[in-house]
Amino acid sequence: MKKLLLIVNPAAGKTRSHGPLFDAVSVFCKAGYLVHVHNTTGRGDATQVAAAQSGDYDVVVCCGGDGTLNETVSGLLQAENPPPLGYIPRGSTNDFAATLGLSSNPVQAAETIVTHQPQMLDIGFWNQRPFVYVASFGAFTRSSYAAPQANKNALGHLAYILEGIKDLNTLRPYKMSLSADGEVLDGEYLFGAICNSTSIGGLMKLDPSRVVLDDGRFEMLLVPNPKTPVELQNLLLALLNQQYDAQGLIFRHVSSVTVKPSEDLPWSLDGEYGPSSQQVEIVNHQAALRFLL
């Protein structure tokens, strides 16, 4: 009998009924899997379990938000021969699930896992720390990891918006030396994202036709510091209208990025806190992991 490890973050989507999750387990059982359920006990637990136990299973399934997915992927990448990964999104925003077109219904997500073939997807590394879909800095980045879990569970996406509003009075540019695939883009930026996703924080959207998840390249968006009120207005309009090729914004497809900030620059990695570093190396590892999509 095939074996499936289901890693569940019980804190994610806590206000939702767990009935559909039990039904998802039933889907796995009917497909011929012997299911072992592991409820995570705290930060880092999903990584430890995936790294230590995934080799004993034919499939690993992660059930939680983007942070739980990040931890599970980090653990699988430590395994010698990691099995394919399935994802049942149960978080507040689920950016990567939106990119993949995964259902938020656990039963439908489970049916996708047992009926679809594995696909290889790229994984990013931020100073050797894996991230699944985005490494970002600057405006509103803090809201992705600072919003209290209780607020996320109760308010969902609104919790991120409310947390972001708190940052408006601290909105400021960050000066840095930045190189993307050898192109020098030194300057001052309000926001930057290096991503493999069509959705960032549930706020910014990229055209799906421009995002290829296994091409070895990230989509990089930089928002320069505007010098005049007119420049600021143009930037805001471009962002609101998702016109990322508009004058003033910087949009590239890149495989590696080097950032040397002139001051402390905190990051968000898949919605989790990333500390400031004197130099950040971001590299795309093409087709690094198998996903059941």
Model pLDDT, residue 141: 61
Residue 145 has pLDDT above 70, yes or no: no
pLDDT at 147 over 50: no
pTM, two decimal places: 0.87
Asked about 111 being catalytic, the answer comes back as: no
**How many whole angstroms separate alpha carbon 247 and alpha carbon 140?**
22
Pure H helices in 186-257? 229-240
- Is the Cβ–Cβ distance between 76 and 82 less than 8 Å? yes
Q: What is the DSSP string of 89-142?
A: E-SSS-HHHHHHT--SSHHHHHHHHHHSPEEEEEEEEETTEEESSEEEEETTHH
**How much is the average pLDDT of 216-222?**
94
Total Cβ atoms within 10 A of residue 24 = 24
User: How open is the CA angle 289-58-21, to the nearest 5 degrees?
Assistant: 90
Give yes or no for residue 201 having a pLDDT over 60: no
Q: How far apart are CA 274 and CA 235, in angstroms?
A: 26
pLDDT digits 0-9 by tens, 89-112: 997 667 788 888 899 899 999 999
Q: Which of 111, 188, 231, 272 is catalytic?
A: 272
45 in Cβ contact with 75 (< 8 Å): no
CA atoms within 13 A on the CB side of 119: 15
> What pLDDT is stored for residue 16 in this prediction?
62
Give the pLDDT confidence score for residue 146 in this predicted structure.
45
Model confidence at 50: pLDDT above 90: yes
